[in-house]
Chain A
């Protein structure tokens, strides 16, 4: 049984925001709502800056599901965490519970009034008729029902973002890291990310000492 997950390879992500754009375009996500975003780690630290693409991680034991007072969340047979917008009351509990900041709330009016929660659906739509107009308007495109993977992962130019069954993408990542000749810090960097061992003095080679300070 598949358990759908995302995995982002920080060594490969070039912060192009192609995944964000693909998601926005595929699901026609409204202005102000970002189902997916690229986060920079160690921003400005020379030699240590990395980026990862973050969205709903479709947790096996989802905290949003646990705290929802109206129980609008559910998990599909493939392990995708979805929610019913007809039940959602926009309370925001899920936003506080989620460690990834995945739940998004469109601004529905003045004074910060919140609309119904919106989040990454793993391109699996929601509790409406599959591939229907209603499903698209509320939840976006149902690519899984078309036999496809999420647009963000399939669009990723460097294949940093992998999407699919946790076992399969973990296998892909494991082989990738093994091909890099991962030995501790050698697994780090651009050169190793594409199967070539990094040469010392080149970008991607493991720094002797981490250079600190903001640029």
Chain B
């Protein structure tokens, strides 16, 4: 009985001491900026709007192709002089 009591007391003391210990802090030299947030999706993985510009859902190349056309629409010289 005394033996169990002593063991329990020792375990309790160990837990109390362990609670006061400092957690080891290890610097992560491999960490790079911009790597924490990883939950955004790509624009081409969306369904295009019904009446808007079209591309094939999930196809990056087709999305880039139509956005490129949109970019060139900013080029009024091309629209006016051709």
Contacts and interface: CB of A to CB of B under 8 A. Distances in A.
Whether A associates with B in a native complex is yes
Interface residues of B, number: 35
A72 B37 contact: yes
Interface string A137-176: 0000010111111000110000100111100110010011
Contacts of B22: none
Interface string B35-68: 1111111110110110011110000100110111
A175 B63 contact: no
Contacts of B45: 130
B75 A71 contact: no
A73 interface: yes
B77 interface: yes
Centre residue among B37, B41, B60, B70 by max chain A CB count within 10 A: B37
Closest 10 CB pairs of A and B: A164-B71, A147-B53, A71-B36, A144-B43, A74-B37, A127-B40, A145-B43, A172-B75, A145-B46, A84-B37
Interface in A43-82: 62, 65-66, 68, 70-78, 82
Given A2-B64, A147-B66, A149-B71, 4 more contacts: A83-B37, A147-B52, A147-B54, A168-B68
Q: Which range contains the number of A residues in contact with the other chain?
A: 35 or more
A110 B68 CA distance: 46
Centre residue among A72, A87, A126, A130 by max chain B CB count within 10 A: A130
B64 A71 contact: no
B70 A164 contact: yes
Interface of A: 2, 62, 65-66, 68, 70-78, 82-84, 87, 124-127, 129-131, 142, 144-149, 153-154, 159, 162-165, 168-169, 172, 175-176, 179, 195
A127 B34 CA distance: 13
A142 B71 contact: no
Nearest to B46: A145
A168 to B, nearest CB: 5
Contacts of A83: 37
